[in-house]
């Protein structure tokens, strides 16, 4: 099992809608709106690093209202 955290920067006013869209993605186990440099942190649990890439670099980045993402893979 690979665990990763996807930090999402949303366009102004899009965080609530994006949170729901991100939570609906297969492999995303939770998403939270946060204060700070990013707007949403999503936790991903999948079978492989390639699945993380598919979720973060393809699915999340292509959602309308996403400005930027950063992904961190857990090492333990």
Residue 37 CA to residue 53 CA, distance in Å, equals 22
Predicted TM-score of the model (pTM): 0.95
Mean pLDDT of 3-22: 97
- Give 28-47 pLDDT, tens digit per residue: 999 999 999 999 999 999 99
């Amino acid at each position: 099992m690979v665990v990763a955290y996807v930090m999402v920067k949303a366009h102004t006013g899009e965080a609530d809608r994006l949170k729901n869209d991100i939570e609906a993605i297969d492999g995303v186990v939770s998403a939270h709106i946060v204060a700070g440099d990013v707007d949403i942190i999503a936790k991903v649990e999948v079978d492989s690093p390639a699945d993380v890439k598919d979720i973060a670099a393809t699915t999340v980045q292509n959602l309308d209202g996403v400005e930027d993402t950063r992904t961190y893979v857990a090492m333990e």
